[in-house]
């Protein structure tokens, strides 16, 4: 979803790889005026303490037997997506994904998608983010 | 594109990774928790030491579920006495800053354009080595064509210096000549060391420009100002927070601190208030000094300093009559042309009243002796002296002289500099005259920058190598003495969490880079590096049983013995000057063609309607390092230029007006005005850290103005220190 561009992705986007790399870096790594769309959920939580959000999310995961990659902040969005997928795939306790979504997947997915809409001029990342929002809604409705 | 729940699950597994990190097939970042991770669920505390300012206060970091939540003061650490300042607390957030440098980056656009690609460490090293080896070859094999810059305060800097030495370049420039090298040289010349002021025990303290209330937030700073029995005299062109807290503030004319010190000695010696027995026994050259200062009367000094003669007389008398009075050595005063001589004069004021090596006075720095980190030197057949060798009388081989070196490098005089390797020094923002620094950058074939954030300097580099944050890495021990602590102490830093992203410690960065270079015998330079940071730490404290274990547990170690005071006076230690006395007259200076005693030279007239630009600390930030920290930036989103209210009125300038400052060498900035009575009419000031060129520092990019853009390029030829108060500006409303 937010992985570093490969030649294949660049070709699909009809861009030179170096150009796509530069755009990716500006969006997610280091950008003019600051990272345009930080791929960290806590950056989109208005009025919340990001450190608290991360430690509680990490604690939730550990409580349910999941360890997060320590090379990323716990609110790294691709990692949070994996956590959701992991817990959705375990059908023995269907209330857990609901609890997860209610507690940790509110507010930021839409804000992240909205930010990408402003800054992702290629469009591939905003599409994925919007689809993720839609999926969350689908899961929540079930 | 449309994602269903079914293909989301499939796609996540297939599309998000499959890189083999996880024990769960198809997942890159998530794995099954084992006992180790489950243990992380608990709250744990890790002791380490701060890196936000020079004090290195020890704290206990609270880590909850693997996330740093806060940094609490270590209750047993003597220096901080249960206190952790706001700047230190703000550090907890830094590892999670979305704008930190996360991966090695190679520039793909023009310098400063902001086009980068993420690289592996090997790619970045290979790129650096190829460019560097090419220019070294073009320079006939002279490795001196590569310069190295670094900043103090980061313990891994030792390894950076080691890399430079084994690489074979003499051209090292450090933070010191942008800060306190003139101060060190001045005090060294008189008392043989750079001492600390025993501010806890001193009842009478003179602070000339040293802004303790806005630089060091440690309990001893509070002691200075909270004890109603202490008298504090503050000399500063600006009404700083130190001035506000002082017993008396004198808005001294910049560059005249020496006149004040000489007049104090005129009074003290003239009225026979000096400590005769002390001077007879420990000082050299008193009679010459007594003759010399006769010319510097308080009435004369009043005209120079704008401090009333009676005020100088009163201060001098009370200073001499108060046991334990100290004229604080400070880190900064005026930073003008004769700065070393000014510091000598201040040191001499202390000596004539018997303040050196006595309680309350100037206390020599005593540290716990750590075993030296030893490494083999590399020998090269082609060597050249460092670039600015002829420019400075007392040139430190490791510190160099930043401004002198940079100005010669621009001219290629006496030889070309083709590359610059920079370790955590924001040279674009901190070296005076940013236009010149950029001119140098334009001439360089390769610029490498190691940093944790995309500083202005990193922004203009060709390759940026990301160092792990100070809360993620093990730093070798640092030993420090009475610098605000009664107990000599050794501290370390150790990781609260694992390094995030693709970052490395300073040691690992240089060892990795060293593998890509060879010495004259064909050996790769990494062979000069042995062990690791933990083994170096263990070796450093090996003479002290249990010290290593204590460091791991508490992040500090002390022998529990207070520093002895008086060892230099009772003969246990020799005073480290050529005469082994406290030198009020320097034969050494005289033999080098310098003034044997401080001789006052009036600062040049700045001219009508012009202003002297003064620098100085401010309470919110540690120079340019923290201006982009959200928790601190919130308190001060941009800097403003202080202009005296009476002067501003005549110029039609109001607070909030945008004004242009222009110096004499083409530097100009635009910045909002802050009209205040808290600055002399002939001076202006704004804080450091703003007006960033780097768009990777979003909170300070384009906000306010940068000091380095307006500071002119001057240095002091005895110590090589940059002269921060020799910049004259014109102001107009935009």
Q: Is-contact B98 A38, C-beta < 8 A? A: yes
What's the burial of A47, exposed, middle or buried (CB within 10 Å: 0-12/13-18/19+)? Answer: exposed
Give B20's pLDDT tier (boundaries 50, 70, 90): very low
Rounded distance between C-alpha atoms, residue A129 and residue B4, angstroms: 14
A110 touches chain B (CB under 8 A): no
Distances (CA, A) of B508 to B146, B165, B172, B173: 21, 17, 20, 22
Which of residues B266 and A137 earns the better pLDDT score? B266
User: Tens of pLDDT along B641-662?
Assistant: 999 999 999 999 999 999 999 9
Is A32 in Cβ contact with B114 (below 8 Å)?
A: yes
pLDDT at B182: 93
Among chain B residues, CA nearest to A134: B3
Q: Which residues pair with A80 in a beta bridge?
A: none
Chain A partners within 8 Å of B695 (Cβ): 31-34
Instruction: Report chain B residues whose CB lies below 8 A from the CB of A38.
Output: 98
Residues of A in contact with B118 (CB under 8 A): 4, 21, 25, 29
Residues B426, B310 share a domain: no
How far is C-alpha B221 from the geometric centre of its chain's CA atoms? 18
pLDDT of residue A75: 97
* Residue B82 domain flag: no
Picking from A136, A84, A111, A66, the residue whose alpha carbon sits closest to that of residue B40 is A66
Q: Model confidence over B340-362: pLDDT tens digits?
A: 999 999 999 999 999 999 999 99
* Confidence class for position A137, pLDDT limits 50, 70, 90: confident
Residues in A touching B40 (Cβ below 8 Å): 58, 62
Q: State which of B429-438, B503-512, B614-623, B697-706 shows the largest mean pLDDT.
A: B503-512
Residue B642 sits in a domain of what CATH number?
A: 2.40.40.20
Q: What is the DSSP string of B151-177?
A: -TT-TTHHHHHHHHHHHT---EEEGGG
Which of B5-14, B22-31, B130-139, B627-636 bottoms out in mean pLDDT, i.e. has the lowest?
A: B5-14
Specify which residues A56 forms β-bridges with: none
Q: Which of A13, A20, A30 to mutate to test the interface with B (most CBs of B within 10 A)?
A: A30
pLDDT of residue B2: 47
For residue A69, give the chain B residue with the closest CA: B29
Q: Say what the pLDDT of residue B373 is.
A: 87
pLDDT digits (tens, 9 = 90+) for B370-392: 998 889 899 999 999 999 999 99
User: For chain A, what is the radius of gyration of the CA atoms?
Assistant: 16
Looking at A6-15, A90-99, B44-53, B276-285, which range is the least confident one? A90-99
- On the question of pLDDT at B213 being above 50, the answer is yes
Based on the domain organization, do B200 and B172 belong to the same domain? Answer: no
Q: What is the pLDDT of residue B1?
A: 44
Percent of chain B with pLDDT over 90: 71
Any chain B CB within 8 A of the CB of A85? Answer: yes
Q: Where are the domains of chain A?
A: 39-141
pLDDT of residue B10: 54
Chain B neighbors of A3, CB-CB under 8 A: 16-17
Instruction: Report how far residue B36's alpha carbon sits from residue B428's, in angstroms, rounded to the nearest whole number.
Output: 44
pLDDT above 80 for B565 = yes
Nearest chain B residue to A140 by CA distance is B5
B245 and B385 in a single domain? The answer is no
Burial B346-382 (b: 16+ CB within 10 A, else e): bbbbbbbbbbbbbebbbbbebebebeebeeeebebee
Q: For chain B, how many structural domains are there in total? A: 4
Dist. CA B421–CA B442, nearest whole Å: 15
Which CATH number belongs to the domain containing residue B457 in this structure?
3.40.50.740
**C-alpha closest to that of B710 among B627, B615, B632, B623:** B615
Q: Are residues B618 and B649 in the same domain?
A: yes
Are B642 and B728 contained in the same domain? yes
pLDDT tens across B495-551, in order? 999 999 999 999 999 999 999 999 999 999 999 999 999 999 999 999 999 999 999
Cα–Cα distance, B402 to B174 (Å, whole number): 7
- Report the pLDDT value the prediction gives residue B22, as an integer from 0 to 100: 40
Q: Residues B263, B158: one domain?
A: no
User: What is the residue range of B4's domain?
Assistant: 1-32
On whether residue B236 sits in a domain, the answer given is yes
User: Does residue B619 lie in a domain region?
Assistant: yes
Tokens of A115: 């930010």
Tell whether B95 is covered by a domain.
no
User: Mind listing the pLDDT tens digit for each residue in B293-323?
Assistant: 999 999 999 999 999 999 999 999 999 999 9
pLDDT of residue A48: 79
Do B134 and B222 have their domain in common? Answer: no
Q: Quick check: B66 contacting A, CB < 8 Å?
A: yes
Q: Which of A29, A33, A85 sits opposite B698 (nearest CB)?
A: A33
Does residue B669 belong to any structural domain of this protein? yes
CB–CB of B87/B186 below 8 Å? no
Contact (CB, 8 A) for A132 and B3: yes
Nearest chain B Cα distance for residue A132, angstroms: 8
Q: What is the pLDDT of residue B8?
A: 52
Q: What is the CATH number of the domain that holds B233?
A: 3.40.228.10
Asked if A32 and B3 come within 8 Å (Cβ–Cβ), the reply is no
Within a domain: B415: yes
3-state secondary structure of B643: strand
Length of chain B: 734
Q: Are residues B581 and B616 in the same domain?
A: no
B110 at interface of A, judged by CB pairs closer than 8 A:
no
Residue B604 forms part of a structural domain: no
- Return d(Cα B513, Cα B517) in angstroms, integer: 7
User: In terms of DSSP H, where are the helices of B444-532?
Assistant: 456-459, 506-514
């Amino acid at each position: 979803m937010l992985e570093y561009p490969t030649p294949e992705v660049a070709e699909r986007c009809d861009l030179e790889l170096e150009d796509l790399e530069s755009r990716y870096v500006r969006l997610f790594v280091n950008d003019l005026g600051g990272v345009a769309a930080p791929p960290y959920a806590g950056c989109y939580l208005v009025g919340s303490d990001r450190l608290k959000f991360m430690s509680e999310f990490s604690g939730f995961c550990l409580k349910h037997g999941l360890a997060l990659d320590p090379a990323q902040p716990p609110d790294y969005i691709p990692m949070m997506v994996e956590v959701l997928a992991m817990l959705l795939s375990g059908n023995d306790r269907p209330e857990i994904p609901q609890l997860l979504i209610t507690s940790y997947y509110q507010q930021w997915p839409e804000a992240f998608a909205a930010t990408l809409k402003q800054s992702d001029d290629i469009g591939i990342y905003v599409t994925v983010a919007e689809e993720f929002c839609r999926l969350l809604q689908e899961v929540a409705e079930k | 594109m449309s994602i269903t729940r079914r293909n989301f699950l499939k796609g996540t597994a297939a599309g998000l990774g499959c890189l083999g990190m996880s024990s769960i097939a198809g997942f890159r970042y998530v794995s099954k928790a084992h006992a180790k991770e489950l243990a992380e669920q608990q709250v744990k505390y890790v002791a380490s030491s701060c890196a936000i300012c020079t004090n290195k206060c020890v704290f206990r970091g609270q880590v909850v579920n693997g996330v740093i939540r806060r940094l609490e003061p270590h209750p047993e650490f003597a220096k901080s006495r249960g206190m952790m300042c706001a700047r230190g607390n703000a550090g907890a957030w830094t590892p999670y800053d979305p704008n930190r440098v996360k991966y090695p980056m190679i520039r793909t656009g023009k310098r400063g354009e902001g086009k980068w690609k993420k690289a592996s460490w090997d790619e970045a090293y290979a790129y650096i080595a190829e460019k560097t080896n090419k220019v070294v070859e073009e320079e006939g094999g002279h490795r001196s064509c590569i310069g190295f810059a670094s900043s103090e305060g980061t313990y891994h800097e030792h390894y950076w210096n080691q890399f430079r030495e084994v690489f074979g370049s003499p051209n090292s420039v450090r933070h010191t000549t942008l800060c306190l090298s003139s101060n060190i040289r001045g005090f060294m010349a008189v008392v043989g060391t750079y001492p600390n002021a025993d501010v806890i025990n001193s009842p009478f303290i003179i602070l000339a420009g040293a802004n303790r209330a806005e630089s060091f937030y440690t309990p001893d700073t509070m002691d200075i100002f909270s004890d109603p029995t202490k008298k504090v005299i503050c000399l500063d062109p600006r009404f700083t927070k130190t001035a506000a807290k002082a017993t008396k503030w004198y808005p001294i004319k910049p560059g005249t601190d020496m006149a004040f010190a000489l007049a104090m000695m005129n009074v003290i010696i003239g009225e026979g208030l000096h400590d005769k027995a002390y001077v007879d026994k420990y000082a050299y050259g008193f009679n010459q000094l007594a003759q010399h200062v006769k010319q510097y009367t308080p009435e004369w000094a009043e005209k120079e300093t704008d401090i009333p003669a009676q005020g100088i007389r009163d201060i001098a008398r009370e200073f001499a009559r108060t046991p334990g009075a100290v004229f604080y050595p400070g880190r900064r005063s005026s930073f003008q042309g004769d700065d070393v001589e000014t510091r000598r004069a201040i040191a001499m004021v202390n000596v004539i009243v018997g303040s050196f090596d006595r309680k309350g006075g100037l206390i020599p720095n005593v540290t716990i002796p750590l075993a030296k980190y030893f490494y083999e030197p590399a020998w090269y057949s082609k060597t050249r002296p460092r670039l600015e060798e002829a420019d400075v009388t007392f040139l430190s081989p490791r510190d160099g002289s930043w401004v002198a070196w940079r100005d010669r490098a621009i001219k290629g005089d006496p030889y070309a500099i083709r590359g610059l390797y920079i370790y955590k020094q924001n040279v674009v923002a901190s070296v005076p005259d940013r236009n010149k620094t950029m001119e140098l950058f334009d001439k360089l074939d390769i610029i490498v920058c190691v940093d944790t954030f995309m500083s202005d300097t990193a922004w203009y580099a060709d390759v940026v190598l990301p160092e792990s944050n100070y809360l993620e890495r093990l730093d070798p021990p640092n030993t420090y003495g009475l610098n605000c602590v009664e107990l000599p102490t050794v501290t370390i830093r150790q990781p609260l969490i694992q390094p995030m992203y693709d970052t490395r410690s300073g040691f690992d960065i240089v060892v990795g880079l060293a593998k890509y270079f060879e010495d004259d015998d064909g050996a790769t330079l990494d062979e000069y590096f042995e062990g690791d940071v933990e083994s170096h730490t263990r070796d450093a404290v090996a003479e002290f049983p249990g010290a290593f274990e204590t460091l791991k547990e508490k992040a500090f170690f002390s022998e529990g013995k207070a520093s002895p005071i008086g060892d230099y006076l009772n003969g246990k230690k020799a005073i480290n000057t050529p005469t082994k006395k406290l030198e009020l007259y320097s034969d050494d200076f005289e033999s080098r063609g310098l003034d044997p005693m401080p001789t006052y030279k009036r600062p040049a007239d700045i001219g009508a309607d012009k202003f002297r630009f003064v620098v100085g600390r401010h309470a919110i930030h540690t120079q340019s390092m923290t201006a982009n920290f959200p928790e601190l930036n919130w308190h001060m989103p941009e800097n403003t230029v202080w202009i005296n209210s009476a002067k501003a009125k005549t110029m039609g300038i109001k607070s909030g007006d945008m004004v242009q400052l222009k110096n004499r060498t083409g530097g100009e900035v635009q910045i909002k005005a802050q009209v205040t009575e808290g600055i002399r009419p002939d001076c202006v000031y704004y804080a450091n850290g703003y007006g960033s060129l780097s768009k990777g520092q979003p909170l300070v990019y384009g906000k306010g103005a940068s000091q380095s853009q307006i500071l002119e390029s001057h240095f002091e030829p005895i110590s090589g220190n940059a002269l921060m108060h020799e910049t004259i500006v014109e102001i107009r409303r935009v």
